[in-house]
Chain A
Amino acid sequence: MTVEANALHEIRDAIHTFVRLETCERAVVNSAPYQRLRDIHQLAMTYLVYPGASHSRFEHCLGVMELASRIFDVVTDQRNLVAEIRSGIHLPETLEHNYWRRVLRMAALCHDLGHLPFSHAAEDTLPTGCTHEDLSLAIIRSPDMVEIWERLKISAEDVGKLAVGSKHYPKPLTDWETLLSEIIIGDAFGADRMDYLLRDSHHAGVSYGRFEHHRLIDTMRILPQKESEQALPTLGIEQGGLQSAESLLWARYFMYTQLYFHPVRRVYDFHLKQFLKEWLSGGKFSTNLKDHLLLTDTEVISAMRLAAGDQSAPGHVPAHRIMHRQHFRRVADITDADREIDPDAAETLASLLSDKFGEEAVFMDRYTQKGKGIRFPVLTRDGGIEWSTVLSATLKRVPTFTVEYVFVDPVYSGPAKNTVTAFREELHKKKGGQE
């Protein structure tokens, strides 16, 4: 018996049970840029804190393709379309629908091709103005990939624009393209976000990232956004899925607080960047595609291991810190209450510690969560539309996660405690004065 030229293949997946793809699509998975993702850890060196978190971008991108396809099928199903935006949607069983479904799947698969070793952790070591999305776009447009797109009868530019979205594509996207890009990388419930929460949670062995994604996808709808005179199609949900959307957004908040911004994980990112700045030529990653595709976590780990054992090697000190768990120690978390008293509390403390122990012995980490995505249209049970933030008191209470940590060299972590205590006493006095 012969296998059909374009048979359906199944790949076992820890989150979605099976990821399905056609023979012609398999050429993308088998390409060198995609295979490279096997050696890019999804969560950088989080595995040094959560040992199970050693999964890669390879399976994440397969998962995003699977979820994006499911979302596309639900939201373009004629039974799920509202009259107001129906004219702008390519309906199932049309050539356009089939074309864009394929483009969407391939864009979802390729959206992370430009990731550097250790994913986001190393992004600062790209030349100014260049992002991993720019590299993803360049790979999608590269001759080897264009050959595959031609066989799939889709345009490299269409794949590229959906993969990187309006923020990174150099030309304006149409409303339809913007909508499809939202399905992949949207803030509220894009397939990328859904997959990374579920997958990271599973591999790290924490339950914070779980939510009812089957129900959420089944209730997703394309709804009109009418802030201007034009009704723009945007992703929303039916009211019945609101609780699932709430649980996704809370899941994201908890994953940020418990996993992505775990202080030890963050300080390993810091030491990794220190190493890369010394180890890389000119302290920056090359944006040359050939160089980019040759470099993965494997090469960096190998270099780090060598540097850790050789005092004369570039990046010896940070490499030694990583390999021997001599990372900086957190001495303070600056809280919302601290910032209420002094918005610059973290800088003040870091500066006090630097004066005492030297600048190179102190690291201040600050991050505020981006793309909260809590406001989206909801199709109500009576057929009307309302904002999620009007219907859900729970969503309005999802905090924007801000982190401010101060770390010091482990040699000084003991004496630093006295400085932190004195600083806190000063802060409380200030509070008393303000009251």
Chain B
Amino acid sequence: MNPKDQFSVLLDLVVELRNSGSWTGETHVQKATYLLQELLGLPTGFEFVLYKHGPFSFELREALERMEAGRLIELEEQRYPYGPKIAEGSASKRFRTSTQPAATFPQKIAFISKELGSAGVADLERIATALFVIRDREIAPSKRIPRLVELKPHVQIDEAEEAFRRLEQISKAATLAGLNPNPLNPT
């Protein structure tokens, strides 16, 4: 995906997340993009690694910086410990009217925003890390929960189990919505 299309997806995601009541900080955008790509197969082209709060893309962070520089988004600063909220910038409207996203993108973006809109950073970290673990083919299904807890030692076993269950729910809802999610091979 070229940078302009990436900006278009991210901008639509910011708008939809905010409409869904999400805090819409960088972590929310990171995790929602990860699910869009890895679960719903929207090819954003960002490479994700496991970082401080779960799957994270340095390229996506750079894209957000470029979007801020181009006034497509703006950051609403918050007091510590909360991170800034992301909002549409002064140049976003013109940009959105000049770009035409692929037909299925808006539906997928709206779906994932609705599913994750009420999730806090900790929930997002667990759900996205659960998907990261599932995507690692070297980890047998029976080892996924222990692996999540190993990667994120502050996550309790029951929280890890809940994260996998939630992921399965999202996947089923995506199937019902006709969004053809990538198979999860659930535990």
Binding site for B on A (CB under 8 A): 166-167, 172, 175, 178, 224-230, 232, 339-340, 343, 368-372, 375, 377, 384-387, 389-390, 396, 399-402
Contacts and interface: CB of A to CB of B under 8 A. Distances in A.
Nearest to B52: A232
A178 B52 contact: yes
Interface class of chain B by DSSP: mixed
B158 interface: no
Interface string B17-39: 00000000101000000000000
Given A166-B49, A368-B66, A385 B80 contact: yes
16 contacts: A166-B50, A175-B52, A178-B52, A227-B53, A227-B82, A228-B27, A230-B152, A343-B91, A368-B66, A368-B70, A377-B80, A385-B80, A385-B81, A387-B78, A396-B77, A402-B69
A229 B25 contact: no
A88 to B, nearest CB: 11
Interface of B: 25, 27, 49-53, 56, 58, 62, 65-66, 68-70, 77-84, 91, 94-95, 98, 121-122, 125, 151-152, 154
B77 A370 contact: no
B79 A228 contact: no
B121 A228 contact: yes
Contacts of B56: 166
Contacts of B121: 227-228
Contact of B77 (A369, A387, A401): A387
Contact of A172 (B79, B80, B125, B151): B151
Contacts of B80: 226, 377, 384-387, 390
Contacts of A229: 122, 154
B63 to A, nearest CB: 10
Nearest to B121: A228
Given A172-B151, A340-B91, A386-B80, A228 B69 contact: no
Nearest to B51: A166
Contact of A389 (B53, B65, B77): B77
A228 B53 contact: yes
Contacts of A166: 49-51, 56
Contacts of B94: 343
A81 B50 CA distance: 27
Given A228-B125, A368-B66, A390-B79, 9 more contacts: A166-B56, A172-B49, A226-B81, A227-B27, A227-B53, A343-B70, A385-B80, A386-B79, A399-B69
Contacts of A172: 49-51, 151
A224 B95 CA distance: 38
B65 A225 contact: no
Interchain residue pairs A-B with the least CB separation, the first 5: A400-B69, A226-B81, A172-B50, A230-B154, A368-B66
